[in-house]
Amino acid sequence: MQDFNPLFIKSVLLKREHVPSFSGYPFHLPAIATLTELSLKKQVTFLVGENGSGKSTILEGIAAAYGFNPEGGTKNFNFSTYKTHSCLEGYLTIVKGGFRPEDGFFMRAESFYNVATKIDELGLMNSYGGKSLHEQSHGESFLSLFLHKFRGNSLYLLDEPEAALSPARQMTMLARMHQLVLEGCQFIIATHSPIIMAYPNACIYELDENGYREVLYEETEHYQMTKSFLEAPERMLRILMDTD
């Protein structure tokens, strides 16, 4: 990993004085209601938490505030198939580092189909492996993005990239991500995957009903629950199914 730590985004601030109300969406979410400054101290930052904790909302807000299309893609993508993103971007201040990324991409699992369609329409397949992403499985198209489009000295925001990836493919993603970190990339990732969030020397923020806090990998609920299940699946299944 590079010693000079080339961060493109150093921190994210919520302009609390401009928030009209903390009782409405998305500001009522504890992770946003308690947000003052989210410090991005490492080249890899994870946002983890239960469904509805706000991790994807925060990541989307960061991406849009930085200039990415809310539905995903590079900063050159400018399309909208439907407006479902929150207004959070307008209340965030992005504190940039002293480096400017050569490229970047905002990938969100739920709208990746729309991005793939736009790539086909623009005739950009050669930058994504030379084959339409629609002609590949969901997982293969995700990997084509990581392996062919992503390059060094760039900024990547990924929302639940594990959605279409098997455990083995998640490990492939980790290996590629490490290559890109060594080449000066910065990643901000919202994920449920205990495999992906195991990336070493990353900063992990766990979001819950109390807000957000920095935790160690072994302290995350995802790690602890997965470990408990794998160590004693029969016992966990008995508890879950309430059987004797």
Can you give the pLDDT at residue 3?
44
Q: 105: which strand partners?
A: 156
Handedness of CA 168, 203, 184, 187 (dihedral sign): positive
Q: Is residue 16 part of a domain?
A: yes
Can you give the pLDDT at residue 233?
87
Write the CATH number for 175: 3.40.50
Q: Which tokens in the block code for residue 193?
A: 């995957």
Burial bucket for residue 4 (CB in 10 Å: 0-12, 13-18, 19+): exposed
Predicted model pTM = 0.86
Count of domains in the chain? 1
Task: Determine the Cα–Cα distance for residues 186 and 101; give it in Å rounded to an integer.
Answer: 9
Q: Is residue 147 part of a domain?
A: yes
Q: Which domain holds residue 22?
A: 9-219
Question: Would you call 9 helix, strand, or coil by DSSP?
Answer: strand
Q: Is residue 72 part of a domain?
A: yes
Can you give the pLDDT at residue 164?
79
Can you give the pLDDT at residue 97?
93
Q: Is residue 99 part of a domain?
A: yes
Can you give the pLDDT at residue 55?
94
Task: Determine the Cα–Cα distance for residues 111 and 77; give it in Å rounded to an integer.
Answer: 13
Q: Is residue 229 part of a domain?
A: no
Q: Which uninterrupted H or E stretch holds 159? A: strand 154-159
Q: Is residue 115 part of a domain?
A: yes
Tell me the pLDDT of the chain (244 aa) as tens digits.
444 557 999 999 999 999 999 999 999 999 999 999 999 999 999 999 999 999 999 999 999 999 998 877 777 666 555 555 679 999 999 999 988 999 999 988 665 546 556 555 655 554 455 555 555 565 677 787 888 889 999 999 999 999 878 999 999 999 999 999 999 999 999 999 999 999 999 999 999 999 999 999 999 999 999 999 899 888 888 888 875 5
Sheet holding 9-14, edge to edge: 37-39, 9-14, 92-96
Backbone angles phi, psi at 229, to 5 degrees: -70, -45
Instruction: Kindly report, residue by residue over 71-90, the tens digit of the pLDDT.
Output: 777 776 665 555 556 799 99
Q: Are 103 and 125 in contact (CB under 8 A)?
A: no
Instruction: Kindly report, residue by residue over 161-187, the tens digit of the pLDDT.
Output: 998 789 999 999 999 999 999 999 999
Q: Is residue 4 part of a domain?
A: no
* Residues sharing a CB contact under 8 Å with residue 128, sequence separation 6 or more, in sequence order: 119, 144, 145, 148, 149
Q: Is residue 224 part of a domain?
A: no
* Residues sharing a CB contact under 8 Å with residue 109, sequence separation 6 or more, in sequence order: 159, 160, 161, 163, 164
